[in-house]
Amino acid sequence: MCGIVGYVGQRQALPLLVEGLKRLEYRGYDSAGVAMMEQNRLSITKSAGRISVLEQQLDVDGSTATTGIAHTRWATHGAPTEINAHPHGDASHRIALVHNGIIENYTALKKYLQQKEVPFVSDTDTEVLAQLIGHLYRGNLEEAVREALRDVHGTFGIAVVCADEPGTIVAARRGSPLLIGVGQDEYLVASDASAILAHTSQVVYLSDNEMAVISADSLHTTTLDAVPVTKEIQEVEWTLDQIELAGHTHFMEKEIFEQPEALRNCMRGRVDLAEGKVHLGGFADVARELTRARRFIMTACGTAWHAGLVGEYLLEDLGRIPTEVEYASEFRYRNPVIEYGTVTVAISQSGETADTLAALGEARQRGALALGVVNVVGSSIARETDAGIYLHVGPEIGVASTKAFTGQVAVLAMIAAFVGRRKHLSQSATQEFLEALSQIPDRMEKALENNAKAKAIAEAYADRDNWLYLGRGYQYPVALEGALKLKEISYIHAEGLPAAEMKHGPIALISDGMPVVVIATQGLQYNKIISNIEEVRARGGRVIAIATEGDSQIANLASDVLYVPDTLEPLQPMLTVIPLQLIAYHAAIARGCNVDKPRNLAKSVTVE
């Protein structure tokens, strides 16, 4: 959600900023802008709509500025208009600021500034912060920013420039990610490493309540209270090639087909088939506490929440530990019960999801052991947990999550085996499970052969406005995830349900020709799901079945069948979700939707 790029150095800043903004498009946005230091004069250009619209207003090659900041905005306070776009300036036109996050007390601050006769032009909370910094500026930008942030309640990742201090950027964060790229006689500021990977892989991650003063030849970091902080330079593990399309039409398509290799990377060095063990280095210091755990709480949002549901089944099945899955957005507002021996697992692709971070903080405050399952190295959740596991599935650019979901399920499967082996699972049982897990990438490749048929199914039903997804047991979370994917990128209304619940009300929705996707793989409840298919057929629904290879019965009952290879039932979700991802992808294309940048959505939701 929203994106920040900044540059200070010896090169022309504007081409780097525009390039960085384009690499942040996947995060979701509705307006964009840049602020440049042109010969000690501040120049701000911004527009509603796509970056291409902004680019038409800029002299990208002709600009001589070597310092600037840029932003893509996803509207929160105020409509997506040019006036509300970032950067925002102050009344003197000497200060410019870009901001991710929400200033919760902006109304009170705005009223105070209006009493001082400070004029406002936008509807945003961000302009209030820019005006406050300008109001407090007395010749020292660092001190003005520091003083302003003392009065701010809420979350922010900001970059600020001042016409009176050319060649300087002041950056700060609280609750919204911000990093600094380290180059040769240059520095870059970004909310996401993908924006700067073309120029450096050396980064410094700012932590909450830290700020940095940056020039071409220096980087000075402190807390917001002016206490010096020594920061470690880290290497971004992703490469530029990984965030390119590499011949694919869309990032979502690329990431769907990357899943077999992504899972091999996820499991590499962690699954020991010879010993029947799972090696999770991130848990080395808390292994004893995990063995003694009395209860697990998974907290997440969206797709990660669905992965958590699969994790609940896995931990109770393999680990025999009571497990709950909580919406992170609700968790801290309902006075949750955190007892001795509770382990909280925060699941997030970006590691920056605001709701999940807040839930994690609440659990830790109440004494729970906090674990993280995230994809982005150095992210906030990774830094604020007691221990954790990285997915290592590579960058995920498409807004609709695909390989992060299967990576999360794979990691949760390894955690369940890790805990189960220490509690009650025999070595042979663990070995059997891990052997099946290690075969999932190969079976995924087989499942991806459904692409052409999934495309035909999607095109046949893309004009239908309502779909139903049904699953039982381990497949119920997959039904939820399949429905979410269809909603996210094709804008078709879809519901995911436990198949047995259909007859308790939702069966009234089934009408003649309605697409009903049923995950009917071989498992303990196979006969039950067949009965549910019969109920759908009797009411005119068109059954699209996801079935196990070799099932000779299902073709007689379903209008269309997509087959996936057989595996242990707890591992089936990593295979059955693939045809659903493919259906959603092709349905979105058939309906002319923007697959990688669906309307109203952002890749990383960094505000509550």
Backbone angles phi, psi at 71, to 5 degrees: -155, 145
Q: Please confirm whether the linkage preceding 177 is cis (ω < 30° from 0).
A: no
User: Is 116 noted as a catalytic residue in this protein?
Assistant: no
Do 163 and 156 contact (CB within 8 A), yes or no? no
Cα distances from 500 to residues 436, 503, 518, 520, in angstroms, run 28, 7, 12, 13
Do 508 and 541 contact (CB within 8 A), yes or no? no
67-73 vs 41-48, strand pairing mode: unpaired
What is the rounded CA–CA span in Å between residue 508 and residue 514?
Answer: 12
What is the rounded CA–CA span in Å between residue 341 and residue 63?
Answer: 60
What is the rounded CA–CA span in Å between residue 129 and residue 160?
Answer: 10
Query: Which residues, 6 or more positions from 179, have their beta carbon under 8 angstroms from its beta carbon?
Result: 189, 190, 191, 193, 203, 204, 205, 206, 378
Do 69 and 189 contact (CB within 8 A), yes or no? yes
Question: What's the full length of the chain, in residues?
Answer: 608
User: What secondary structure, in 3-state letters, does 546-562 show?
Assistant: EEECCCCCHHHCCCEEE
User: Is 266 noted as a catalytic residue in this protein?
Assistant: no
Q: Residue 11 has what DSSP assignment?
A: S
Q: Which amino acid is at 541?
A: G
Q: Among candidates 272, 518, 255, 281, which has minimal Cα distance to 405?
A: 255
What is the rounded CA–CA span in Å between residue 54 and residue 57?
Answer: 5
Biggest CA-to-CA distance, the chain = 79
User: 2, 266, 301, 593: which is the annotated catalytic residue?
Assistant: 2
Do 31 and 48 contact (CB within 8 A), yes or no? yes
User: 22, 403, 485, 603: which is the annotated catalytic residue?
Assistant: 603
Question: What is the rounded (10 degree) CA torsion for 484, 490, 495, 496?
Answer: -40
Backbone angles phi, psi at 76, to 5 degrees: -120, -65
Structure tokens at 330: 């609700």
Q: Residue 37 has what DSSP assignment?
A: E
What is the rounded CA–CA span in Å between residue 461 and residue 466?
Answer: 10
Residues marked active site are found at 2, 603
